[in-house]
Amino acid sequence: MPNSRPIEELSELEATLELAKLARTIAEHDKRYYQDDAPSVSDGEYDALRQRNDALEQRFPNLIRRDSPNKRVGSTARSGFKKVRHAVPMLSLSNAFNRDDVQDFHDRICRFLSLKSARELTIVAEPKIDGLSANLRYENGTLVMAATRGDGQEGEDITANILTLDDIPKDLGAGAPSVVEVRGEVYMRGDDFATMNQRLMEAGKPEFANPRNAAAGSLRQLDPKVTAERPLRFFAYSHGALEGLALSSHLALLDRLRAWGFSVNELTQSCQSVEEMIAVYEGIQDKRATLGYDIDGVVYKVDDYGFQERLGFVARAPRWAIAHKFPAERATTRLNEITVQVGRTGAITPVANLEPITVGGVVVSRATLHNEDEIKRKDIRPGDWVVIQRAGDVIPQVVEVQFDKRQGDPEPFAFPRNCPVCDSPVERPQGEAVARCSGGLICRAQRIERLKHFVSRDALDIDGFGDKNVEAFAALGWLDSPVDVFKLEQRADELRTMDGWGPTSVDKLLAAIESARRAPLNRLIFGLGIRQVGQASARLLARYYTSFDAWSVAMHKLADGDAVIEAELLNIDSFGQAVVVELQRFFANEGNAAVVAELGAIMDVEPVEAPTETGSAFAGKTLVFTGTLQSMSRPEAKAWAERLGAKVSNSVSKKTNFVVIGADAGSKANKARDLGVPILSEQEFRDMADGKIETSSDLGTAPVETASLTSEISS
């Protein structure tokens, strides 16, 4: 039974501890009810726990947990699903928020492809369904595997649950390709959602917050019988792996999907200009409220598959697609207090603590205020009534103050000059908007945030090691640096005696930690939380140095001021001075360097090989492009070279293998000639890429004279 002590007598600390216990207890009862079909308490006892939790959250809205019972139904039991590696990554999309963003997207594609007329480009516009992405694999026409998107590289096996959906054909019939992966969105219609919630309410069961949560929770039930009872549907919109079928365009794929029996959204249209793209977007937005299912924008895709292949990908998104999001939903509420939080890089971020308000189907009680300048510019003060929106329908932010509701003349917020956690001075580098704690790793907040980042999905991806566990283990003195994550096995016996931890949950956590010992170099680099080093930069570093040892040696040299390594890093295409400076600062810190060295000793860091293509003459080679190319743009040439396994650099050195020159090539061609680096014409580059020329020795001359190349291009 719940605590009987009056809630108004509880301190924040006592409320925090009780909410944590209630979350664990209710989750366990949900598991027994939804998964095991063996409830261990009466409905009345369960309801009392929920009511106590609700009352605590009402009294202390700032303490509402991410795993609050009010944010879920049943138990997703993530660890109950087998992991599946996607044959073709399921990447995310870049976002556009206005017409200028859409115009920039269209212009970039035209420049990249060197199109003479924008009318050569056909764009397909389709509604962006707000559901759960799924990948369905068919072999010889039969559905053999279904998986969630997961982190884009690896998802969860939900085959048994997907087989319960009437919208999904189990066999594609005669003439199906040997392999096809159909991708789409599992969703729930609004009327079905309302009916289902009504049944749950009448049965005394907790309701879902919105259709998307309902779809996700229903699809990820351990018992397929539960999924079968839920009104789930599926829209197909793309493919992954494909063998035994040649398609020329996205529209051709959609026609084939319809023929196989999939539902394809009827609002999908082709466009020949930005004006038509915007018109489709506005038309779909006007219909949004009457569709019967949730959408949060429009996705634009290049129709021609040949163009898609040439455009390729950048970081985690394709160059050939973008999501044009609908304007964020807004609401008005009172700002009770402004506090600050300290991030893993020391960034001091002001936070608005709000009267809880529902925005876009989600209860919001906190919103970012970005930085000190933003607070001053908008003149935001405690006690103000403010307009809140969820940026990109995700991150809550304060849009503006309703000055007509301001009472009196409240004091402006005083931005702290010392860190609220470690009391170190707060510094704001000249020219930067963000103020930072100068305490580094002596600041407990930074240590904890770095540890959360280290175990997060995009870093080491340790299943079951959430933010709350990091905080709890750090409070016990078990976690101080990333190295300590791999020492938790020494605490196994103590952990098994703690409230909420049983033998099974402890064993699963330790197994996940042990699995994380073997991690790709790029994930480890990203997981260290070095400022300016995001996922894209981490991949570039991993590809350039390939192994942990090579990267580590180079970083120590950089910390010692090695100009050669600095120049080497700056030569990596798209690498900037800011990244190099932060790498140097990080490794100049002896504590950081020691942590990296110890991680290298206790982990099995997998080398990252550059992508290669069979027969590629450029695999592992370093290329520099200079001058104006005629048959393709420079960005396309660089992307093509990288797909063939090459490293693309910005400047010529003795380590450069080839310099590819176009018309009006200048100093880079001259430097290549001086260093004896082979020079390729645009046509020779294309021939080597296509395998018509196997090595530079087949070129006849190396280096080749610029004049002869220019005349060759002209002819």
The topology (CATH level 3) of 95-325 is D-amino Acid Aminotransferase; Chain A, domain 1 (3.30.470)
CATH of domain 7-71: 1.10.287.610
d(CA 8, CA 6): 6
The pLDDT value recorded for residue 45 is 67
Does residue 131 carry a pLDDT above 50? yes
Does residue 373 carry a pLDDT above 50? yes
Does residue 23 carry a pLDDT above 50? yes
Global pTM value: 0.59
Does residue 671 carry a pLDDT above 70? yes
Mark whether 128 is an active-site residue: yes
The correct answer on CATH 1.10.150.20 for the domain covering 521-606 is: yes
Does residue 34 carry a pLDDT above 50? no
Same fold flag, 439-516 and 521-606: yes
- For the beta sheet containing 142-148, the strands, ordered from the edge strand earlier in sequence to the opposite edge, are 142-148, 132-139, 179-187, 233-243
Does residue 33 carry a pLDDT above 60? no
* CA distances (Å), origin 521, targets 80, 592, 646: 28, 17, 18
Domain boundaries, the chain: 7-71, 95-325, 330-405+416-427, 439-516, 521-606, 622-714
If we measure between CA atoms, which residue out of 367, 363, 336 comes closest to residue 350?
367
Residue 658, beta-bridge partner list: 623
Residue 269, beta-bridge partner list: 125
- In sequence order, what DSSP letters do the residues of 639-703 get, joined into one string? HHHHHTT-EEESS--TT--EEEE-BT--HHHHHHHHHT--EEEHHHHHHHHTTSS-SGGGGSSSS
The pLDDT value recorded for residue 30 is 66
Does residue 441 carry a pLDDT above 80? no
Does residue 705 carry a pLDDT above 80? no
Does residue 50 carry a pLDDT above 70? yes
d(CA 239, CA 331): 38
Mean pLDDT of 126-153: 92
Higher pLDDT, residue 686 or 303:
303
Does residue 11 carry a pLDDT above 70? yes
d(CA 13, CA 26): 20
- By the 8 A CB rule, do 141 and 172 touch? yes
The pLDDT value recorded for residue 280 is 97
**Where would I find the beta strands (DSSP E) of 611-678?**
622-626, 647-649, 658-661
Among the options 31, 71, 82, 128, which is catalytic?
A: 128
In tens, the pLDDT along 511-544 reads 999 999 999 999 999 999 998 898 878 988 998 8
Residue 282: Cβ within 10 Å count: 11
d(CA 486, CA 510): 9
Whether a cis peptide bond, with omega within 30° of 0, leads into 89 is: no
Q: In the structure encoding, which two tokens stand for residue 427, read together?
A: 């510094």
d(CA 212, CA 499): 32
In tens, the pLDDT along 69-79 reads 765 543 333 44
Does residue 2 carry a pLDDT above 70? no
Hey, which of 445-459, 563-577, 643-657 has the most confident mean pLDDT?
A: 445-459
703 pLDDT tier (thresholds 50, 70, 90) = very low
Does residue 222 carry a pLDDT above 50? yes
Residue 341, beta-bridge partner list: 349
Percent share of the chain, pLDDT over 70: 89
In tens, the pLDDT along 327-362 reads 877 889 999 999 999 988 889 999 999 999 877 667
Does residue 300 carry a pLDDT above 60? yes
Average pLDDT, the chain: 85
The second-level CATH assignment, the architecture, of 439-516 is Orthogonal Bundle (1.10)
The pLDDT value recorded for residue 47 is 63
Instruction: Show contacts of 197-200: CB within 8 Å, 24+ apart.
Output: 200/73
The pLDDT value recorded for residue 713 is 29
Q: Which of 128-137, 160-169, 667-676 has the least mean pLDDT?
A: 667-676
Residue ranges of the alpha helices (H) in 486-589?
A: 492-496, 503-516, 521-527, 535-545, 548-559, 563-571, 577-588
- By the 8 A CB rule, do 212 and 132 touch? yes
31 pLDDT tier (thresholds 50, 70, 90) = low
Higher pLDDT, residue 702 or 102:
102
In tens, the pLDDT along 455-508 reads 998 899 898 888 889 999 998 999 988 999 999 999 999 998 888 888 888 998
If we measure between CA atoms, which residue out of 456, 634, 432 comes closest to residue 529?
456
Q: In the structure encoding, which two tokens stand for residue 459, read together?
A: 């870093």
In tens, the pLDDT along 579-636 reads 899 899 889 888 888 999 999 999 999 987 655 454 578 887 888 998 888 888 888 8
Interior angle at CA 20, CA 18 and CA 21, nearest 5: 65
Q: Which of 76-85, 146-155, 308-317, 392-401 has the least mean pLDDT?
A: 76-85
CATH superfamily for 330-405+416-427 is: Nucleic acid-binding proteins (2.40.50.140)
CATH number for 622-714: choose from 3.40.50.2000, 3.40.50.10190, 3.30.930.10, 3.40.718.10. Answer: 3.40.50.10190
Does residue 711 carry a pLDDT above 70? no
Q: Which residue type sits at 575? A: F
